[in-house]
Chains A and B, each alone.
Chain A
């Protein structure tokens, strides 16, 4: 079991940030590395249990299931069903918390998963930097400053 934790302050109101990341099908719109995404069985993207099926720009395909979505906590938890990354028991949570001082948003993205022991550390670093970190940098970019 290994853990990844990435966080960032986005210079925008939490409501505005949540409006973007709440959509479980919107990775192509804000991450920069997802080419296309769809929700399987034509379910709404805010139906807990729905599966997003997306293709990375590098060609890999990933299926993830929405496990929890909270407009109250502004958080979203999901698991990986299929991916080329070689991870097991992967559960991740993206959460927004208001920074009342300056009306900004603290975004944290964490994951826990199992992988082959010799790959775990590298994999965690890659996910932290190239997936979560890159996505949050891209998200911040949408808000200018």
Chain B
């Protein structure tokens, strides 16, 4: 933490100075750096909690909140709640004292904030010179009956991030399409964040099945040589111009395209990055973001699961599968899971499945019909693809819905839609990006996910950890279904 403190003596009675400073929204009339200012929500300038929203002359926008105002102490305290500067945890106090020996006024102004080491000197100088001392001079001039003071040749420009340069990071690179061994740890160059971007120092990276598809070329999401990976968490290292939602030092996560998460540091579109709640550890968050957001829109937006529904979930012990089971059960559905063996069946039962079918031992469509008295499932969540698609349609109830959201066993291939008519069933092939590609939609999904985690509806289960360089081993374990927990790479 840095504390900066300045003080002056003005040649005016304390009452006159206080009359100028007391109005929290009055700074636009006396501070040379401040352009238009307004109070939010119809507050008055002496209402504790009032927020002033103003612009500096360079156009940057700041919002500050009044925390305390005392006519006894002739002081007020406020904090920054939104600013493009790196003034993290900035809070400041103005205090006036009478000089009783000669009727003048003693004015103190101090602030505390948490700058990065790189920004410390520059920001301290900015606060002291452009905020405090400029304010002192300006009010002094006003009291002498002069016009609002603006130092000659001086235009207050709020400093943005310190000059950020390209840095090197260690990244796992897919050198060509192929098996796990096509991935190599290499040194890559990470550009500084441009407008609307931020650079993130990553602490945990989630491994998902889609990463395998990127690596082996099933999906052309990347063109080798390229860095795979869709989700990670970490700390904001620096931000580019125009990023106001998050600051350096904030703990954040993302789970979306473009690929490139398998790295110690990366630059991202800030709109795709969101803050993490404190109750989630870095590793737990990296393990659950992409799978949890998937489950969120699959259960609420692609098909809205409701009380009494019969829900069939394939690979019910898997990453997304186990979240789907728990969450669907919490929504009031009867959940039927399919797994490949008895051990996974037991896990699926623990995750909310009322019934578990070993698809290796019986036709799961017949089993679903038997378990439901011939009704079938209202919705089937199928990420297995080729091996299950036809049977999943047979497992549906009349007007049931098949959600095909993955192809672990291979491409679903070409099918006639005539089969859908036999039970008036409908089909979705949702694309992750279309359910969280705007800030608002992403916010909807993350709010829902963090709410479900906070309330214990779904659990952030401890992932299996690998070092970043062990990404090939992680992929091997994922593809051979050696692990049942989520996989996380730690840089």
Query: In the bound complex, do residue B97 and residue A8 qualify as a contact, i.e. CB atoms below 8 Å apart?
Result: no
Whether A136 pairs with B101 at a CB distance below 8 angstroms is yes
Whether A7 lies near B8 (C-beta < 8 A) is no
**Contact, CB under 8 Å: A100 / B100:** no
Contact code string B121-142 (vs A, CB < 8 Å = 1, else 0): 0000000000001001000000
The contact string, 1 if C-beta is below 8 Å from chain B, for chain A 29-56, is 0000000000000000000000000000
Q: Which residues of A contact B102 (CB under 8 A)?
A: 8-9
* The residue from A99, A108, A128, A137 contacting B7, defined by CB atoms under 8 A apart: A99
Q: Contacts A99-B106, A101-B136, A106-B106 known; A6 to B9 CB distance under 8 Å?
A: no
Q: Are B7 and A9 in contact (CB under 8 A)?
A: no
Q: Which residues of B are found within 8 Å of A104, using beta-carbon distances?
A: 9
Query: Contacts A7-B106, A106-B106; is A99 near B100 (CB within 8 Å)?
Result: no
Min Cβ gap B449→A in Å is 47
Given known contacts A7-B106, A9-B106, A97-B108, is B9 in contact with A106 (CB within 8 Å)?
Answer: yes
Nearest CB on A from B118, distance (A): 25
Contacts of A108 in B (CB 8 A): 97
How many angstroms between the C-alpha atoms of A108 and B133 in the bound complex? 23
- Distance of B10 from chain A, by nearest CB (Å): 9
In the complex, which residues of chain A have a beta carbon less than 8 angstroms from the beta carbon of B99?
A: 7-9, 106
| A-B CB contacts (within 8 Å), total count | 54
Could you tell me the distance in whole angstroms from the C-beta of B9 to the nearest C-beta in chain A?
Answer: 5
When the two chains form their complex, are residues A9 and B5 in contact, meaning their CB atoms are under 8 A apart?
no
Indicate if the CB atoms of B7 and A98 lie closer than 8 Å.
yes
**Which A residues touch B97, using CB under 8 A?**
7, 97, 106, 108
- Check: B57 CB closer than 8 A to any chain A CB: no
Q: Are B100 and A8 in contact (CB under 8 A)?
A: yes
Partner among A7, A98, A133, A136 whose Cβ is within 8 Å of the Cβ of B98: A7
Size of the A side of the interface (Cβ < 8 Å), in residues, is 18
Chain B residue contacts of A106, Cβ below 8 A: 7, 9, 97, 99, 106
B104 CB-CB contact with A under 8 Å:
yes
Q: In the complex the two chains form, what is the Cα distance from A135 to B98 in whole Å?
A: 18
How long is the Cα–Cα vector from A50 to B106 in the complex, in angstroms? 32
Given the known inter-chain contacts A97-B106, A97-B108, A106-B106, please indicate yes or no for A9 contacting B100, CB distance below 8 A: no
Q: Are A9 and B104 in contact (CB under 8 A)?
A: yes
A5 at the interface (CB under 8 A from B): yes
Q: Indicate the member of B99, B100, B104 with the most A CB atoms within 10 Å.
A: B100
**What residues of A have a CB within 8 angstroms of the CB of B443 in the complex?**
none
Main secondary structure on chain A at its contact with chain B? strand
Q: Which chain A residues lie closer than 8 Å to B6 at the CB level? A: 100-101
A9 to B105, CA, bound (A): 10
How many residues on the B side are at the interface (Cβ–Cβ under 8 A)? Answer: 16
**How far apart are the CA atoms of A101 and B6 in the complex, in Å?**
7
Contact partner of A9 among B9, B108, B133, B136, CB < 8 A?
B9
Query: B101 touching A137 by the CB < 8 A rule?
Result: yes
CA distance A83 to B6 in the complex (A): 39
Give chain A interface residues in 7-28, CB to chain B under 8 Å: 7-9
In the assembled complex, the CB of B401 is this many whole angstroms from the nearest CB of chain A, namely 69
Residue of A whose beta carbon sits closest to that of B104: A9
- B324-357 at interface with A (beta carbon < 8 Å): none
* Interface of chain B, main secondary structure: strand
Interface residues of A in 114-145 (CB under 8 A from B): 128, 133, 136-137
A99-B106 Cα distance, complex, nearest whole Å:
8
**In the complex, A128 Cα to B98 Cα: how many Å?**
14
The reply to whether A101 and B8 form a contact with Cβ atoms under 8 Å apart is yes
Q: Which of B100, B108, B133, B136 contacts A7 (CB 8 A)?
A: B100
Nearest chain A CB to B253's CB is how many angstroms away?
41
Q: In the complex the two chains form, is B100's CB within 8 Å of A5's CB?
A: yes
Choice from B8, B98, B101, B104 contacting A100 with Cβ under 8 Å = B8
A137 to B101, CA, bound (A): 9
Which one, A101, A128, A136, A137, contacts B9 given CB within 8 A? Answer: A101
Closest Cβ of chain B to A1, distance in Å, is 15
Assembled-state Cα–Cα distance A97/B110 (Å) = 12
Q: Which residues of B contact A5 (CB under 8 A)?
A: 98, 100
User: Hey, what's the 0/1 contact readout for B269-312 against A, CB within 8 Å counting as 1?
Assistant: 00000000000000000000000000000000000000000000
Binary interface encoding of chain A residues 58-71 relative to chain B, with 1 for a CB under 8 A from any of its CBs, else 0: 00000000000000
Residues of chain B within 8 A (CB-CB) of A133 are 100-101
Q: Of residues 1 to 50 in B, which have CB atoms within 8 Å of A's CB atoms?
A: 5-9
| Cα-based distance from A100 to B106 in the complex (angstroms) | 11
**Chain A neighbourhood of B108, CB < 8 A:** 97
Given A7-B106, A106-B106, the answer on whether A99 and B101 have CB atoms closer than 8 Å is: no
Contact with B along A82-105 (1 / 0, CB 8 A): 000000000000000111111010
Interchain CA distance A29-B133 in the complex, whole Å: 36
**B9 and A100 within 8 A (CB):** no
Inter-chain CA distance A108–B108, complex, in Å, is: 13
User: Which chain B residue lies CB-closest to A132?
Assistant: B100
- CB closest residue in chain A, given B128: A100
The answer to whether B101 touches A8 (Cβ under 8 A) is yes
Nearest Cβ on chain A to B72's Cβ, whole angstroms: 11
A133→B102 CA distance, assembly (Å): 11
Residues of B near A97 (CB, < 8 A) are: 7, 97, 106, 108
Quick one: closest A residue to B101, CB to CB? Answer: A8
Of all chain B residues, which has the CB nearest A101?
B8
Closest 7 CB pairs of A and B: A101-B8, A8-B101, A106-B106, A100-B6, A7-B100, A99-B7, A6-B100
Selected A-B contacts with CB under 8 Å, 10 pairs? A5-B100, A6-B101, A7-B106, A100-B5, A100-B6, A101-B6, A101-B136, A106-B9, A106-B97, A136-B101
Known A-B contacts: A7-B99, A106-B106. Give 16 more (CB < 8 A). Answer: A5-B98, A5-B100, A7-B98, A8-B99, A8-B102, A9-B104, A9-B106, A99-B8, A100-B7, A101-B133, A102-B8, A104-B9, A106-B7, A128-B100, A133-B101, A137-B101
